[in-house]
């Protein structure tokens, strides 16, 4: 277990650089640290006004970035969560390879539907297809993607499902159909977890503010 807090740069809220923002990739990394009980220190980055020191450690200007034990900084939530799994193997959050991509198409299909201005372009159906596929998986393997224990695939999906819930609720008055009971229970279980409450955006308004320019584009 780490004795010193791991440093991690994450997105600050839109218009509130002092509050935790709405980046699902940042939250995925924070969730991994929380679930592994690794002490960490967040540095909130105002992505509309990136400081010079941040651009030096994250040349592409992206969050999250995390400082490794050797003092080097690394970007990309896939890379960072794998590093954390290797460095802090207990508790293991490894998802078996055959389940690693469960739910992976939900985020891109959600974004297409959210931005869609044509109700007949099939984007809602495409999202429903992905949610139904998750429903079937959870029905036979749940309550989490890998069964009884939460794993990396859930921690990747949880913030994305939260964005889906908040943004589609706000911009389209749309919610996950009630009959997808396993998906609804799964979302509730994830959002009520201590790790999620400790790492979620400071308010739904920041999730909405984050999507607004993309929805109105």
CA distance 68 to 79: 11
Q: Which of 25, 54, 162, 186 is close enough to bind ligand GSH by CB under 6 A?
A: 25
Closest-CA residue to 159 (of 197, 131, 126): 197
Q: In this structure, are residues 116 and 216 in contact, taking their beta carbons and an 8 Å threshold?
A: no
Total residues interacting with ligand GSH, rule: CB under 6 A: 11
Report if residue 11 touches ligand GSH, rule: CB under 6 A.
Answer: yes
Report the nearest approach of ligand GSH to the CB of residue 7 (Å).
16
63 binds ligand GSH (CB under 6 A): yes
Which of 9, 12, 30, 64 is in the footprint of ligand GSH by CB under 6 A?
64
Q: At what angle do helices 152-172 and 181-191 cross, to 10 degrees?
A: 100
User: Percent helix, strand, coil in the chain (nearest 5)?
Assistant: 50, 10, 35
Choose one: 55-63, 125-133, 141-149, 191-199; the region binding ligand GSH (CB under 6 A). 55-63
Q: Binding of ligand GSH at residue 54 (CB under 6 A)? A: no
Question: How many whole angstroms separate alpha carbon 200 and alpha carbon 153?
Answer: 17
Among 7, 46, 76, 85, binds ligand GSH (CB under 6 A): 76
The residue within the footprint of ligand GSH, chosen from 6, 23, 145, 176 (CB under 6 A), is 23
Q: Does 9 bind ligand GSH (CB under 6 A)?
A: no
Told to check if 62 binds ligand GSH by CB under 6 A, we report yes
Active site residues: 23
The 122-141 contact track toward ligand GSH, x by CB under 6 A, reads --------------------
Minimal distance, residue 61 CB to ligand GSH, in Å: 5
DSSP 113-163: HHH---TTSSHHHHHHHHHHHHHHHHHHH-SBTTBTS--HHHHHHHHHHHH
CA distance 110 to 183: 15
Binding site for ligand GSH (CB under 6 A): 11, 23, 25, 47, 61-64, 76-78
């Amino acid at each position: 277990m780490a004795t010193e807090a791991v440093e991690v740069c994450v997105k600050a809220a839109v218009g509130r650089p002092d509050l935790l923002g709405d980046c699902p990739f940042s939250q995925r990394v924070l969730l991994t640290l929380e679930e592994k009980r690794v002490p960490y220190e967040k540095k909130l980055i105002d992505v509309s006004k990136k400081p010079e020191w941040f651009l030096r450690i994250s040349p592409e200007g992206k969050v999250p970035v995390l400082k490794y034990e050797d003092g080097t900084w690394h970007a990309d939530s896939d890379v960072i969560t794998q590093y954390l799994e290797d460095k802090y193997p207990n508790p293991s959050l490894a998802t078996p390879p055959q389940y690693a991509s469960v739910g992976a198409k939900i985020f891109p299909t959600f974004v297409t539907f959210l931005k869609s201005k044509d109700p007949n372009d099939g984007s809602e159906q495409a999202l429903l297809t992905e949610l139904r596929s998750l429903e079937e998986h959870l029905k036979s393997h749940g309550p989490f993607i890998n069964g009884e224990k939460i794993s990396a695939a859930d921690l990747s999906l949880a913030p994305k499902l939260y964005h889906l819930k908040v943004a589609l609720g706000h911009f389209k008055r749309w919610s996950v159909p009630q009959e997808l009971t396993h998906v609804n229970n799964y979302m509730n279980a994830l959002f009520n977890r201590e790790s999620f409450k400790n790492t979620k955006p400071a308010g739904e308004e920041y999730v909405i503010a984050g999507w607004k320019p993309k929805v109105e584009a």
